[in-house]
């Protein structure tokens, strides 16, 4: 069990982390500087991997010597609070009824706080293998920040043998998740005066047929797939945003449809963009180009986060199950950085404090019980890693 002192340390650290507004549209440098100062105070050096514009950075720190080791990974960014009704300041940690409220408490500053609170324990005895602390940026907008850090593994940065991604899983062991591919389909028609719609090409009308086709394919995919390891047990395809038109008296020339695929590992639904293009070429574009030869329907990928499947013999899953005492692992529909670590040659697993249902919501919280469970998990990891 976590000691009261370590629990208090984690709470104090979480209060500091929550106070930094690291919404993905903002810089995370102040938070990274704080994390670096905490590590420096324990005699742990760290390396920063800045973004191209220098406004953000990831951090990697290592405790112990040698190759391999276990990485503890968390992202520093959080989602906006705009439009949400909070009962307390989202950037002030507030404790009520055994729960710690604040933006990012669950997703996923609670895990980072637990890791930082465990640094003295990790340093208390020589380690047989190193423990690495990894903090990234812009996970919420496509797992952007972790990629440059991973690209340096095996060069000037160590490559962990195992990476535990501390996304909120209720401290359950997660051995797989779906991909997230986000697409933007741009429809280009021809503007005209609204009194003469026949001489124009209405991009919104064409986009509405695109939306209908996406919905039709979504239903088709749902009927074709059934993997009970996930909830829902099939890949999902969903339209998220539609934006088009200029004014009520103008036939709209442009319309954008933003949509996403959350696909099971290995799903055949990866062909949905190609099938949508075939539908557009066959059904929509001939009539559009009969009026406007330059009419177009183009789809491009906005972000792509790979699916994650640890596999039956995963060293990372075995380690997490030993530390938690679990006898089975589960799959989830939300995405994490685990697939990127796995693709880079690190055995990965997802296990962290908090409930994904609280993430991104107003009055986001992590329970003190989950913080204690995570601290106990990390204490067992430290004991296991001792020389």
Show the tokens assigned to 202.
């209405």
Give dist(CA 386, CA 328) in Å, integer. 26
Which residue's structure tokens are 């959080």? 78
Dump strand ranges (E) for the chain: 46-50, 57-63, 70-75, 94-96, 99-101, 131-136, 162-165, 174-177, 180-188, 236-244, 254-262, 296-305, 308-309, 330-332, 347-350, 365-367
Closest-CA residue to 187 (of 221, 213, 219, 220): 213
- DSSP H or E stretch at residue 340: helix 338-343
Handedness of CA 196, 202, 208, 210 (dihedral sign): positive
Q: Choosing from 77, 167, 175, 372, which is the catalytic residue?
A: 77
Active site (annotated) includes residue 139: yes
Q: SS3 of 215, please?
A: helix
The residues, any chain, with a CB within 8 Å of residue 212's CB and separated by 6 or more, are none
Q: Choosing from 139, 181, 337, 372, which is the catalytic residue?
A: 139
Give dist(CA 51, CA 265) in Å, integer. 29
Q: SS3 of 97, please?
A: coil
Which residue's structure tokens are 């995919």? 221
The residues that are catalytic are 77, 139
């Amino acid at each position: 069990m976590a000691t009261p002192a370590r629990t208090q340390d984690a709470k104090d650290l979480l209060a500091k982390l929550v106070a930094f507004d690291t919404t993905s549209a903002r810089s995370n440098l102040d938070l990274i500087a704080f994390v670096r100062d905490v590590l420096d105070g324990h005699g742990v050096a760290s390396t920063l991997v800045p973004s191209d514009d220098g406004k953000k950075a990831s951090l990697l720190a290592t405790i112990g010597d040698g190759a391999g080791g276990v990485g503890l990974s968390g992202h520093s960014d959080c989602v906006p609070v705009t439009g949400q009704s909070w009962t307390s300041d989202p950037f002030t940690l507030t404790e009520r009824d055994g729960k710690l409220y604040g933006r990012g408490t669950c997703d996923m500053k609670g895990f980072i706080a637990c890791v930082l609170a465990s640094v003295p324990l990790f340093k208390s005895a020589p380690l047989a293998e190193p423990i690495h602390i990894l903090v990234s940026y812009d996970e919420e907008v496509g797992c952007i920040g972790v990629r440059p850090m991973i690209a340096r593994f095996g060069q000037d940065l160590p490559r962990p043998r195992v990476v535990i991604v501390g996304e909120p899983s209720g401290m359950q062991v997660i051995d797989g998740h779906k991909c997230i591919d986000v697409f933007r389909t741009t429809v280009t028609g021809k503007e005209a005066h609204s009194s003469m719609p026949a001489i124009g090409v209405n991009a919104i009308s064409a986009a509405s047929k695109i939306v209908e086709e996406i919905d039709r394919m979504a239903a088709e995919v749902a009927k074709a797939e059934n993997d009970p390891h996930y909830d829902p047990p099939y890949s999902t395809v969903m339209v998220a945003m539609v934006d088009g038109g200029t004014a009520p008296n103008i036939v709209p020339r442009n319309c954008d449809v933003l949509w996403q695929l959350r696909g099971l590992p290995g799903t055949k639904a990866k062909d949905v963009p190609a099938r949508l293009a075939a539908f557009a070429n066959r059904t929509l574009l001939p009539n559009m180009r009969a009026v406007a030869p330059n009419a177009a329907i183009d789809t491009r990928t906005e972000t792509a986060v790979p699916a994650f499947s640890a596999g039956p013999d995963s060293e990372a899953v075995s380690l997490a199950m030993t530390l938690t005492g679990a006898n089975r692992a589960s799959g989830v529909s939300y995405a994490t950085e685990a697939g990127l670590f796995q693709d880079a040659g690190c055995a990965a697993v997802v296990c962290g404090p908090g409930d994904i249902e609280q993430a991104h919501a107003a009055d986001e919280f992590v329970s003190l019980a989950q913080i204690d469970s995570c601290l106990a998990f990390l204490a067992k990891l430290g004991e296991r890693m001792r020389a």
